[in-house]
Amino acid sequence: MPVTVNTLNAENFRHSVHVNKHELFTDLPKSLGGDDSAPSPHDYFDAALASCKALTVRLYAQKKDIPLTGVTVEVTHDSEEEQKGKYRLSVKLTLKGVLTDAQRDELHRVADKCPVHKLMTTAEISIETRLAEGAFSQ
């Protein structure tokens, strides 16, 4: 299913984002002229990594009967050199539960193998943008 983003009104930058049956919103930060009423696209990019790591670690722990009771993933970014093609992400992984050092190390390794981490660091991504045709696109 496609992800669809629609302008809500011509007065600001807030948009609706439809992902399958879910509706989210996005906006620009105030520093870029938005109202900061919702996460920015960069926030969603960072959130994709954090949520993928959390879900991957939880799923792995469940399958391996590791007594993980929770996980917190905090992602911060440094976009200072983004215009030069560098976007740095820093991830703080907090594992909850009575875990051995070996289990903690294993889950730490698994977090870096989540699909979004691999996509962000190893995939060659190609994007083709085309204009919609017809009267509705005027």
Which of 28, 23, 56 lies closest to 42 in space, CA to CA? 28
Minimum mean pLDDT range among 30-39, 64-73, 75-84, 89-98 = 75-84
In this prediction, residues 69-77 reach a mean pLDDT of 96
The pLDDT-based confidence of 138 (bands split at 50, 70, 90) is low
The CA distance from 57 to 5, in Å, is: 30
The predicted pLDDT at position 89 comes to 95
In this prediction, residues 73-89 reach a mean pLDDT of 90
Q: Which residues contact 34 (CB under 8 A, 6 or more apart)?
A: 12, 13, 14, 27, 28, 40
pTM, to two decimals: 0.90
The predicted pLDDT at position 137 comes to 54
User: Angle of helix 115-122 relative to helix 41-63, nearest 10 degrees?
Assistant: 130
Query: Chain-wide mean pLDDT for the chain?
Result: 94
Residue 10 predicted with pLDDT over 70: yes
Q: What is the DSSP letter of 80?
A: T
